[in-house]
Structure 1
Amino acid sequence: MLQPFPISTLMSAPSGVQPSVQGPVAVGDLLSEASKRYEQEFLQRPDAFSVSPAAIPLLGTSAVHENISVSVAVDRYTVIVGRARQESSEVRVVSTSSGTVCAFQLPPIEGDGDEPAVEVRKCDWCQIIRSLIQELRQLSGIDISGFTAVVHGTIPPNQSMNSSAALEVAMAALVQRLFPQSFCTVSQMDMLLACRRADQKCLAIGSNAFTSSALEQLTCTFSRQMHAIHADAGDMRIFDFISFPSQPTIRLLLIAPLISQECLQLPLDRWQDSPTEDELAVAAAQLMGRPSLRDMTIEDVDGAPLDDRQRKAVMGVVLEANRVNQLVSMQRSCTAEDLGALLNSDRLANDECLRLLSAIRFLPGIFGCRRVNGSYQSSSGFAALAVADVGVCGSYLVKFAQDYNCTVHVLTPADGAYSSYLKFMAPQH
């Protein structure tokens, strides 16, 4: 009954990965696991911890629209435990997810800006950390000693929850906690901007391609429980909060199809030479003599000399901006029905995405859903975000995950990043 558009025959999961419904893991449990791993690695207890939630976009974030967005932090976390090593200049960080170690020596502060190791174009988690530590030391000539840390978490890779933004924000919070005297005059916004510069240097890309990550960093840092953040990357110092629907059983669902590498390769080959929506929209803006599509109206698009694909891409940007403005205008009065209708009004999706979205909307208790990553031209890498009453649809989710070969993440809007000391974990006598 729950299969109006069965797609499981078109997608196969990677070996060992099974369809499932995933709920949150308590932060306390994550900290206990990270602390245990720390003791195994370094033969002593960590002194401090930091926690950052994942961030996902609700509406907006188009680079060509100068990154006006509404996003939300959710209860999937990166936690880091660590300890300062005053006698050493080595930073050593262990990742529990990859099993790898990031280790490097801190150079003298006066030569920090010339460190070549962070100037690589292919970025991984270790280079993110190196770049961030460099930026933190450059804030005001801050000199810190080495430290050891363990990174642990529940943010799934490549499923619209930005693990890099959470890693940067959590690492900055941990360093600030480990070296409080060095950072006593540094604000949260200073730390956020350091994360932004580190990300930009590490990825070696221009600001337009990079600022989506900046908005995710902002969300990870400043979010409030059961609220979304409305922000403009043009001025990161100005943002406001939008109340999430207040009904106690309203949640976000992130539905990610399990696609094998063999299946994934097909749409990538098919579309690798095709321009993305943003590239099409940039070309359209140039044809129209506009520096960006910000403040563009539907009437402007109607009279523009654009081909069908460019017009579709531009309309996607304009309509997305309209959806953001509608949600902001609702502020505290936004209901689950209102938010679901805004998600449903996004019609940019290919046939494969539309089949999954239609199946999700067929579930009882679903108010609306949309595609949240990947290209509308290709099904590779896409996921769907839904607003749902889990009191109604919860009993259907396991069967849905099995029938449609996907992982369903049940998410609650969460508070932003924080840090503290681990004295509460001392043994009781």
Structure 2
Amino acid sequence: MSPMSSLSQPVTVPFAASAPGRVNLIGEHTDYNDGFVLPMAIERHVTIHVRPREDRLAVLRTQRDRRPVSLDLTATVAPVARGWSNYVRGVIEGYRRIGFVIPGFDADISATLPAGAGLSSSAALEVAMATVVETLCGRSLSRVEKALLCQRAEHEFAGVPCGIMDQFAVCCGEAGHALQLDCRSREVVAVPIDAAVRVLVFDSGVKHSLADGEYAKRRAECASAAQGLGVGSLRDVTVADLEAAAGRLPATEFARARHVVGEIARVPAFVGALRDRDWDRAGQLMGKSHRSLSADYAVSCPELDRIVALSAGVPGIIGCRMTGGGFGGCAVALVEADGAEATARVLHDAYRDATGIDAAWFLTAAASGPTVVVE
């Protein structure tokens, strides 16, 4: 197998396209409010093994579901009622709409990235499929265009009104760095992750689905709060502005806005703490983020709250918070690099003793974006 460095012509031999998941270090539910986020790509992937066909069909299978999904690439690709294929369908149709003539292919989809864990398995699948299409066609979009196409696929075909963070983090991942993304200007700044710390991803064991309506409800509440405050986005509200306007918003909308406004401010503060190697400050900001997500935004769950509470008593853990859309999924912790695996095992055992859940966890470095390997 050999990696490809760039696209110059269509690939007509078998290949594998991979895209990483992402974990968000801080800045949760701020992307669709034009705020800041700080994700990083992780060392867990969705991989699509591709074998070109002579016809114009795409025949797709996953490692969990061997029943084939067949798509006619000469006709409009439509969504189905629900299911994993909508993420793929939306990407393929997105490229068809902008003039990509996609040749037929067989695709076998596998993953080391758990679904429903808040690690952007859907964005990884979308970006991996986008990379497949570009590789088969021998032409590519910019990373920004690619991320936006994948976001539209999730909106239109999966029914999830996600912000731009996930697709940007997956498309633009840079080894050894988190990405501070301004979701209004789409400016990305690479932030080095110091070798003195590691990132621990800890699965609560509670699965979630953002398509069940709660994610969309939070987004609508934020839009309503912004309208009530007379601004286009909560990005344009300061903490002082919000406190002065407390009586003008319903209590629930005020709480949602308080989280968003505070969380937007926490992202550059956390970046500054990373750059200054001020680990105490970094940990404090992660704790504030989690408490806000749990109390004001109401997207945590008892298991995630328990993980964060237990982490406070584990030596070597700098800070911990829920990550992703919420309603289950994973917590992310910043841990001291020395003894990181032993630290993770202490948290694992404490959580198992408290809940009976034998949680999965892994340590990860910040990874690069999508790759293609000719097989």
- TM-score, with length taken from structure 1: 0.72
Partners of 2:264 and 2:233 in 1: CA distance: 13
- In 2, are the aligned partners of 1:257 and 1:406 still within 8 Å (CA)? no
- In 1, are the aligned partners of 2:307 and 2:351 still within 8 Å (CA)? no
- In 2, are the aligned partners of 1:93 and 1:103 still within 8 Å (CA)? yes
Amino acid across the alignment from 2:102: I
- In 2, are the aligned partners of 1:344 and 1:369 still within 8 Å (CA)? yes
Match of 2:158 in 1: 203
Cα deviations across residues 267-309 of structure 1 (Å, max 9, x unaligned)? xxxxx99995544443332322222211311111121124544
Partners of 1:202 and 1:369 in 2: CA distance: 33
Task: Please say which of residues 383-392 and 161-170 is displaced more in the overlay.
Answer: 383-392
**TM superposition shift of 1:49:** 0.9
Match of 2:328 in 1: 381
- In 1, are the aligned partners of 2:32 and 2:162 still within 8 Å (CA)? no
Partners of 1:388 and 1:415 in 2: CA distance: 21
Instruction: Provide the secondary structure at the position in 2 that maps to 1:97.
Output: coil
Amino acid across the alignment from 2:322: R
Instruction: Provide the secondary structure at the position in 2 that maps to 1:210.
Output: coil
Cα 1:69–1:128 shift into 2, 3 Å? same
Rg larger in 1 or in 2? Answer: 1
User: Cα RMSD over matched residues?
Assistant: 3.1
Match of 1:366 in 2: 317
Match of 1:81 in 2: 49
Amino acid across the alignment from 1:118: A
Cα deviations across residues 4-50 of structure 1 (Å, max 9, x unaligned)? xxxxxxxxxxxxxxxxxxxxxxxx9xx9xxxxxxxxxxxxx971111
Match of 2:145 in 1: 190
Give runs of ≥4 in structure 1 deviating > 6 Å: 272-275
Match of 1:22 in 2: none
User: What does 1:385-396 correspond to in 2, within 5 Å?
Assistant: 385-389=332-336, 390=340, 393-396=343-346
- In 1, are the aligned partners of 2:348 and 2:358 still within 8 Å (CA)? no
Match of 1:242 in 2: 191
**TM superposition shift of 1:75:** 1.0
Partners of 2:111 and 2:279 in 1: CA distance: 29
Partners of 1:273 and 1:195 in 2: CA distance: 21
Instruction: Provide the secondary structure at the position in 2 that maps to 1:118.
Output: coil
Partners of 1:253 and 1:246 in 2: CA distance: 14
**TM superposition shift of 1:341:** 2.5
**TM superposition shift of 1:374:** 5.7
Partners of 1:420 and 1:64 in 2: CA distance: 34
Match of 1:4 in 2: none
Instruction: Provide the secondary structure at the position in 1 that maps to 2:113.
Output: coil
Match of 1:339 in 2: 282
Amino acid across the alignment from 1:134: E
User: What does 1:231-310 correspond to in 2, within 5 Å?
Assistant: 231-236=181-186, 238-247=187-196, 250-259=197-206, 277-304=218-245, 305=247, 306-310=249-253
- In 2, are the aligned partners of 1:364 and 1:392 still within 8 Å (CA)? no
2:262 paired residue among 319, 322, 335: 319
Partners of 1:386 and 1:340 in 2: CA distance: 9
Cα deviations across residues 302-356 of structure 1 (Å, max 9, x unaligned)? 2112454433322211110111121344564345444322211222225834443
Partners of 2:162 and 2:312 in 1: CA distance: 33
Cα 1:362–1:316 shift into 2, 3 Å? same
Number of aligned positions between the proteins? 346
**TM superposition shift of 1:103:** 1.1
Amino acid across the alignment from 1:66: D
Partners of 1:242 and 1:47 in 2: CA distance: 36
2:71 paired residue among 75, 98, 104: 104
**TM superposition shift of 1:95:** 0.3
| Alignment pair present for 1:421 and 2:374 | yes
Cα 1:396–1:163 shift into 2, 3 Å? same
Percent identity (aligned) = 24
Instruction: Provide the secondary structure at the position in 1 that maps to 2:235.
Output: coil
Amino acid across the alignment from 1:89: R
Match of 1:222 in 2: 172
**TM superposition shift of 1:101:** 2.0
Contiguous gaps of at least 5 residues in structure 1: 1-27, 32-44, 265-271, 423-429
- In 1, are the aligned partners of 2:23 and 2:324 still within 8 Å (CA)? no
- TM-score, with length taken from structure 2: 0.81
